[in-house]
Amino acid sequence: MPIYRDKAKGCFVFEFDRRINRQRIRARQNLPKAWNRAQADAFDRQETAKLYAHATGVERPEFTIEEAVACYLTERVSLLKSGDNIEAELSRMFYAYQGRPLSMLADVCKAYQIGEKDKLSPATIRNRIRYLTSACRYAWKHRSMGDRDPAERVTVPVVRNERSYFIDRREMLRLCSHCSSLRARAIFRIAFYSGMRLGEILQAKRENGHFVLTDTKNGDRRMIPIHPKIASAKVCLSYGRIEKNFREARRLAGMEWLRFHDLRHSAASAMINQGVDLYTVGAVLGHRSATSTKRYSHLATQRLAEAVFRIGKKVA
């Protein structure tokens, strides 16, 4: 049977070895670990049909989205730090693209948005569609699957991701005052005065007056100047302990709407309110794209007012 399970690798394997028209045709491919038997059997049927068609010259079969995803997972995703998450997300929408040709990617994505709009958030739908389009584009570019970009007509939901919850220094100190752990307080202050994510705080090293991050979300090395207010703050708590102390502190402070990640947003808000431009704010936060920083643009109202009031003024 062409499909079997490799226990050592923890995945199904497709293996084809037959003689067709006096020609020996061989093919072997490890399938994604997240796939079940039904998915593997579906791939077996489609791949076998494609190989027969190619060997007999009947017609050039159209590549499927499943083939593109399998190629992407094997060749690209396995090298990424977030590979397991990408594979899981693509597996969750397998039903939507199962057996569908690559040319129907836009229709598949549109149907997925309509079918899941009442069950999933726009951000989740957008992320899954982007993973799927990345897979199809990779197969098109690197494995010549198709004659044109399969994702050129794909649309994604609009996500309103501006945060409306920000706290100032006074509120941050009030939060700290309701925390019984001095170590947790130090970490709250580091988040507010650096804009780092919690995971980044836990892995950051100190070098020459900077927090140094070598393994960031976007893969770039980042250096953040250490604010004098946190020069002596130490990080010596586990992730779980920090989260527990944070939940308790925000409850006692009457700020249960606050998330730890909002301390990062609050750092951006504080910088913008002091007249720091969005480009510099993005550099501090480690944004690779200006699009990520634009979510804070609605905070720069004072700077916008200053710009408008300059209209018509004489140049000195």
The per-residue pLDDT for range 256-281, each reduced to its tens digit, is: 989 898 998 888 888 887 888 878 88
Amino acid 4: pLDDT = 86
Sheet holding 222-225, edge to edge: 205-207, 210-213, 222-225
Residue that finishes a domain, picked among 143, 158, 190: 143
Q: How far is CA 25 from the centre of its chain?
A: 39
Domain-terminating residue out of 127, 143, 159: 143
297 part of a folded domain: yes
Range of the structural domain that residue 186 is part of = 169-307
H or E segment at 267?
helix 262-273
pLDDT at residue 228, as a whole number? 92
Say if residue 134 is in the same domain as residue 191.
no
What's the CATH number where 292 sits? Answer: 1.10.443.10
* 291 in Cβ contact with 218 (< 8 Å): no
Is 294 among the domain residues?
Answer: yes
Q: Are residues 176 and 96 in the same domain?
A: no
pLDDT, tens digit (0-9, with 9 covering 90-100), for 205-257: 998 889 998 866 555 678 899 999 999 888 888 888 999 999 999 999 999 98
- Buried-exposed string 111-149: b where 16+ CB fall within 10 A, e elsewhere: ebbeebeeebebeebbbbbbbbbbbbbbbbeeeebbeee
Say what the pLDDT of residue 36 is: 87
In this prediction, residue 160 carries a pLDDT of: 66
Q: Which of 109, 143, 177 is the last residue of a domain?
A: 143
Looking at the structure, tell me whether residues 138 and 175 fall in a common domain.
no
Residue 70 and residue 196 in one domain? no
Domain identity same for 105 and 188? no
* pLDDT at site 97: 93
* Residue type present at position 40: A
Q: Is the same domain home to 60 and 126?
A: yes
pTM for the full predicted model: 0.51
What is the structure's pLDDT at 309? Answer: 72
Beta bridge partners of 212: 205, 223
The answer to whether residues 191 and 133 belong to one domain is no
Number of domains in the chain: 2
Counting as low any pLDDT under 50, the low residues of the chain are none
- What pLDDT is recorded for position 292? 67
Q: What is the pLDDT of residue 215?
A: 67
Residue 87 sits in the same domain as residue 33? yes
Residue 51 is predicted with a pLDDT of 79
Residue 280 lies in a domain: yes
Indicate whether 151 belongs to any domain: no
